[in-house]
Each structure stands twice: as structure tokens, then as C-alpha cells.
Amino acid sequence: MPSLFDLTGKVAIVTGSSRGIGRAIAEAMADHGAKVVISSRKAAACEEVAEAINARHPGAAIVVPASISSKEQLQHLVDETRRRLGRIDVLVCNAASNPYYGPMGGITDDQFRKILENNVIANHWLVQMVAPEMIARRSGSIVIVSSIGGLKASAVIGAYNISKAADFQLARNLAAEFGPHQVRVNCIAPGLIRTDFARALWENPDTLKAVTVHTPLQRIGEPHEIAGAAIFLASDASTFVTGQAIIVDGGSTTGVGL
């Protein structure tokens, strides 16, 4: 019997996969047999990741750089993946932006717009680009990396949290639309993870203490600890799961108090 988590023969695009959570997801998918497309804005960083993956699994990774702020570059990412690998079975929308840290009253229109465009609209673009072939095959998995921030309030990353809450609803709506075609759409909602993206949070001792003091595991997460949820959602282990948000946060949203 094949493993429920076997991704052999699958092709997965992972945005923002040159570092952090995206890199960990791409590496894990390759470990489980998938061919992965490494994509972010900087080609050199993508090449480094692909070389590391191909050293372990020859031919498992290719590079197609793209900025999530450019619809044309995202279309190229999808087209080039199809040209080189023939199909797209899994899409992981991981890349995101947060150019502002502070109260909502201080955010500029351009900053707010960038957050919404990169964290929500770009995901919508990518889904619309890959969904038709998945629908035609009646098979496919779309994973949006959201955040527990979409479930909570914040005095410093409020706009980011708004965008991540929108991602939850985007997944639910798309799950309803694509479900009759057996194409699944889900979110992963990480807690605070030790990435460069979240460095402003976990490097601040006060923030770190506030996050971990009421977290059952009493620590923040590591990028590889998000990858398992992505493997589950991409594989046959989750064929009856759609429209959901899998929280991976060490228990921080359980509301543990004194």
C-alpha cells in the first residue's frame, strides 16, 4: 500500500520558497517525492535552494523567479512550470509582505494597499491561473499560508492580520466553488515562527515573552514544523479536507491563562 503522504509524480509550486517556511515546505515536498518549483523575487537565492534539494533528490527542483506583486511574472511562473514539468498538482501560496509595523493610524494608503495586494489578491491571481487544469483533471490541492494573526487583534501588525483573515475567507469561498470538481483549498495558520520575515517580533524580548508565556509548548516554532501540515494538505492523506485552516502554533491560540 502506498503511503498516504507520498507525493511521487506530483508537481508543486511554492511561492516565497527561497527561505523560511516556504523553503521548508519545498524541501519536505521533495523529500516526499514531488517535483518542486522554487520561486521568489531573487533568482540567486532560489538557485541555492534548488541546488540543495537536487543534491539530495536529483532533478526534483527547478527555479522560476517571480514577484507576487506582478501578475505578469506570476503568469510566467505558471506557464513555465507547465512548459518544463507538464502540469501543476499542488499550489502553495506562501509569499507575503508586511511593509508596516505599528498602529493602524500610522499606515499609509500605499502600505495598506501593498499588504492587501500581495497577501490576498496575488493569491487570487495564482489560484485562477492554476485552477482550470486541476478542475479539468478533477484533482488538485491549493494551500494558502495564512497566520493565526487572522484570528487575533494586534496593535502593531493589524493590517497584516486583516490580510490573513481575508485569506481564510478566500480559501473557504474557493473550496465551495471548486469542491464539486474535487479540487481542495485550505489554509495553514502558523503561529510565531523563527523566520527572517517575523524577525521584528521574535527578536523583541517583550514580544517573545508575551507570545510564549501562555503557549503550552512555551516556545516559538521553527520553519520545518510548518512543513508537515503542507505535506498533509498536498497528499492523499487529506482528500476529504477542504475549506479549513490548520493552526500550527504550539497551542498559543488555546487561550491558556494563569
Active site residues: 160
Task: Give me the DSSP letters along 200-249.
Answer: HHHTSHHHHHHHHTT-TT-S-B-THHHHHHHHHHHSGGGTT--S-EEEES
**Could you tell me what percentage of the chain is helix, strand and coil, using 3-state DSSP and rounding each to the nearest 5?**
50, 15, 35
CA atoms within 13 A on the CB side of 196: 10
Sequence-distant (≥ 6) Cβ neighbours of residue 127 within 8 angstroms: 91, 93, 142, 170, 174, 185
CA distance 126 to 141: 13
Type of residue at 237: A
